[in-house]
Copies of this chain bind each other. A is one copy, B any other.
Amino acid sequence: MKKKNTPTESELEILQILWQHGASSVRTVNEILNENREVGYTTTLKIMQIMTDKGMVIRDTGQRTHIYEAVAQENDTQKTLLDSFVEKTYRGSTMRLIMQALGQQETNSKELEELKKIIDQLEKKNK
């Protein structure tokens, strides 16, 4: 089993951008970050370099402008973070998290149908 490198908050922010936009330069990432909050260019650069050291991203250094890409898939990272979140916040009870999340959720009938389908499948598998 590979050791899980859980991203810090800023690292996750950057990963989100890479997942959404695909492989990108520091400049691009920094511009997108700045749509939400002010971050200096070299700050973003530095974090992305650290992420490279940690093996969280890889970069193509073929051109002057390096192009960065996330190594882990969004899904996998989410699952890892979810587990740890459930552990810390819900004392390990995924079910409690789901219930509470459902309560917060703006109800949308299409998605609820979708959910029911998933639950039915789980039930079948259970038999």
Selected interface stretch from A37-45, A50-58, A65-73, A74-82: A74-82
Q: Is the CB of B83 within 8 A of A78?
A: no
In the assembled complex, A4 has its CB within 8 A of some CB on chain B: no
In the assembled complex, A97 has its CB within 8 A of some CB on chain B: yes
Measured between C-beta atoms, what is the minimum distance from A25 to chain B in Å? 21
Number of interface residues of A (CB under 8 A): 41
Interface residues of A (CB under 8 A from B): 9, 12-13, 16, 20, 75, 78-79, 81-83, 85-86, 88-91, 94-95, 97-102, 104-105, 107-109, 111-112, 114-116, 118-119, 122-123, 125-126
Q: Is the CB of A94 within 8 A of B88?
A: no
